[in-house]
Amino acid sequence: MPQRLYLSPEHVAPPHIALPDEARHYLRHVLRLRAGDEVIVFDGTGAEYRVALGDGGATAAILERLPDRPPQRLRLTLYQGLPKGKKLPLIIQKITELGAARIVPVQTARATVRLEGREAEAKRARWQKIADEAAEQSHGARPLEVAPVMAWEEALSDWRQSGQPGLMPDEALAGQPGQGLREVLATLGHPEALSVFIGPEGGFTPEETATGRAAGLTPVSLGPRILRTETAAVVVCALLLYEAGELG
């Protein structure tokens, strides 16, 4: 099966596709592909192309436009409290493979990581690259969008502006009838777009939980077990996408 490569739409100019320097280096020196070898290029809009690499390496000829990939049944956004270490790259990789649409890293009160300025933007660029590579590997049609790091109130404002329903798991609801993820999702009528807020290690503070509820987030229970932040992020995204029919 040909290698898949993500390129943004501005690189697509039929009958050719322009290959930026980084893509050329990857194809030529990492994958060892040569002129005439074929790859599949997708542009994040659902369009995919079968292309052949050119002699000079700067362009590829479009051999065929493949059938467009249909839009997902659920556009899922994860607002993730900044975790420690390498957990966020792992979360980004896994939820991209699952088919989430967007992640917003959130600077919460209990997050031990503090990012701002150039460091935050450099991290974001690295995280976006991880998402792009995960989409290539998993045959996703649209890479995950990595948003800038936001403070808690900024994240709530960003979510409110989206107009999407929003969920916030709350371990205090464990065992309460009608508060399970499936039951709450059913009351929302299985929307086309949905957001979920996951806290960092230690979870959200009582104040954050209160302001989240006041903003309109719907509290849900994930059952009696206490999940690590990276586990909760991946499990909740998987369950929501499964209930939407994205995972079989």
Question: pLDDT for 119-165, tens place per residue?
Answer: 888 989 999 999 999 988 888 778 899 999 999 999 999 999 999 99
pLDDT of residue 178: 67
In the numeric block, which tokens belong to residue 85? 């270490």
Determine the pLDDT at residue 179. 82
Q: CA nearest 53: which of 86, 79, 17, 21?
A: 17
Choose the most confident range, by mean pLDDT, from 17-26, 133-142, 152-161, 213-222: 152-161
**Region of poorest pLDDT, from 13-17, 150-154, 172-176, 212-216:** 172-176
HSE (CB half, 13 Å, CA atoms) of 138? Answer: 21
Mean pLDDT within 87-114: 92
Backbone angles phi, psi at 225, to 5 degrees: -85, 150
Percentage of the chain lying above the pLDDT 90 cut: 48
Q: pLDDT tens for residues 157-208?
A: 999 999 999 999 987 766 676 688 888 888 888 889 999 999 999 889 999 9
Q: What's the CA gap between 190 and 75, in Å, rounded?
A: 11
- What's the whole-number mean pLDDT along residues 54-79? 88
- Of 147, 143, 192, the closest CA to residue 45 belongs to 143
- Residue 167 tokens read as 């969920």
| Mean pLDDT on 95-99 | 94
The pLDDT of residue 78: 98
Q: How many Cα neighbours within 13 Å face the side chain of 57?
A: 13
Averaged pLDDT score across all residues of the chain: 89
Comparing CA positions, the residue from 142, 58, 157, 68 lying closest to residue 106 is: 157
Q: What domains appear along the chain, each with residue ranges and CATH number? A: 3-66 (2.40.240.20), 75-243 (3.40.1280.10)
Please compute the mean of the pLDDT values over residues 15-24 and round it to a whole number: 89
